[in-house]
Amino acid sequence: MNPDSHYDVAIIGAGPCGATAARYAAEECSVLLIDRRKTIGSPVQCAGFLPKYDELEELMPDADLPDTFRYPASCAYTETRYQRFVAPTGDIKEFDVAADVLNRKRFDQYLAERAVRAGADLRIGTRVTAIDGRSIEIAGMWGSHTISADVIIGADGPGSFVAKAAGLPGIGADDDPMGLAHAVAYDMTGVEIDDQAVEMYFGRNFVPGGYAWIIPHGGTSANVGMGIRKAMCEPGVSFRDYLHRFIEEHPIAADKLRGGEITSFIAGIVPVGGARPKTCAGNVMIAGDAAGHLIATNGGGIPTAMVAGKIAGEVAAGVVNGRCDIEEYESRWQREIGMQIRTSVYVRKLMDGMMRSDSMMTAVMNMISPAHMKALQRGQLPDAVKRLLQGMQRRLG
């Protein structure tokens, strides 16, 4: 790439959202995909659980799914068949979910390769230092340059620099103390687990305001972690303290994890407060975690991020070629995934009260059927479950 050059579209962030946007925009436009990391997909910041294509169609029935959801088998560590919920008392409930556990480094690199094959230029090890209208200042492995772009897409995570530069309002967590979760996890080997099941554990003593997970990587390896909210933590107890407590002391999980060796540490921020009230302004669009595009009930963001990325890429091409204005982006993502995001935040807020009491949380889990539990995980709220949760919320005051 030549310095001081012009592109139709510049995309900041080459994760699943940004790479997907680049792949679709590059079919019609000149595209620059920028990432501050020197290696795409590293460091890993999530556990990489992704339901199979048929499950995604049920999760997002109104969405036009990206073709990159059909990825090579080499992008996954293993396949799983079930999700298993473990209540604070140890009671277990499970339901069928066909899913892959992604090797995020390979998966992200595959998506970036698809973008490059479509015609996008990729610049790694590069930071955006300023944005002023169509002018973008970048600095990194190839020095400092100024480029210009007619359309800018921010896919640069929860603390999005692009969003700040465009003056877009904050994610929903800004006015919701429980709207920001922290994810901490270890990759472990030498553990004895059910390699067909993703397990999710609840209980205030081990994971306040969230859940812990064991996600198989095949054989005796797994990702072991938790999503946790600081507002519910004990004073002086760190997120990693809670993770060690879970691994070493949980009455069910500790037996499976005892003797395991830690091979890597993963951490990230998960905005579970809902989407930004506005996701485009001027010539800028925000997508994925940068826009709060995730399912708040489980913290999963890959499916919604990739759908939003596809929409952003297609709208960017439409803007460049005069077919639509940038506001089309807002209406399209709202139509395709907005209901799931909004419902998941509503359900998350209902469940927050239950999480303050292990007995209440156990009672809710025992009363909800596996089919309805699966629906809640998808950000869906069946009427019967809504009445149950609202009734319990009233009891909690």
- Residue 140, sorted as left (phi over 0), alpha (psi -120 to 50) or beta, turns out to be left
Find the helix or strand (DSSP H, E) in which 370 lies.
Answer: helix 370-377
For 41, 64, 104, 222, the CA distances from 80, given in Å and listed in that order, are: 22, 25, 16, 12
Same domain, 11 and 123: yes
| The domain boundary residue, chosen from 243, 270, 297 | 270
- The pLDDT of residue 173 is 47
**Does a structural domain hold residue 352?**
no
* CATH code for the domain in which residue 124 is found: 3.50.50.60
Chunked into runs of 10 residues, the chain (397 residues) has average pLDDT values of: 77 98 97 96 85 94 96 96 94 94 96 98 97 96 93 96 93 69 95 96 94 96 94 93 97 94 93 94 97 91 97 98 97 96 90 86 89 83 83 71
Same domain, 192 and 233: yes
Q: Does residue 276 sit in helix, strand or coil?
A: coil
Residue 318 · residue 195 · CB < 8 Å = no
- The pLDDT of residue 241 is 96
Same domain, 64 and 166: yes
The predicted-structure confidence for 248-285, as pLDDT tens digits, reads as follows 999 999 999 988 999 999 998 999 999 999 999 999 99
**Does a structural domain hold residue 354?**
no
Query: Is the dihedral angle over the CA atoms 366, 371, 377, 383 positive or is it negative?
Result: negative
Same domain, 18 and 32: yes
The predicted-structure confidence for 334-367, as pLDDT tens digits, reads as follows 999 999 999 999 888 888 888 888 998 898 888 8
- The pLDDT of residue 1 is 45
Q: Give how many domains the chain has, as a whole number.
A: 3
Q: Domain of residue 245: give its range.
A: 76-101+178-270
Within the chain, strands assigned E span 6-12, 31-34, 49-51, 76-86, 92-102, 121-123, 126-132, 135-140, 143-154, 180-189, 197-203, 207-218, 221-228, 261-271, 280-281, 284-286
**Does a structural domain hold residue 113?**
yes
Residue 345 · residue 191 · CB < 8 Å = no
- The pLDDT of residue 344 is 92
pTM of the prediction? 0.94
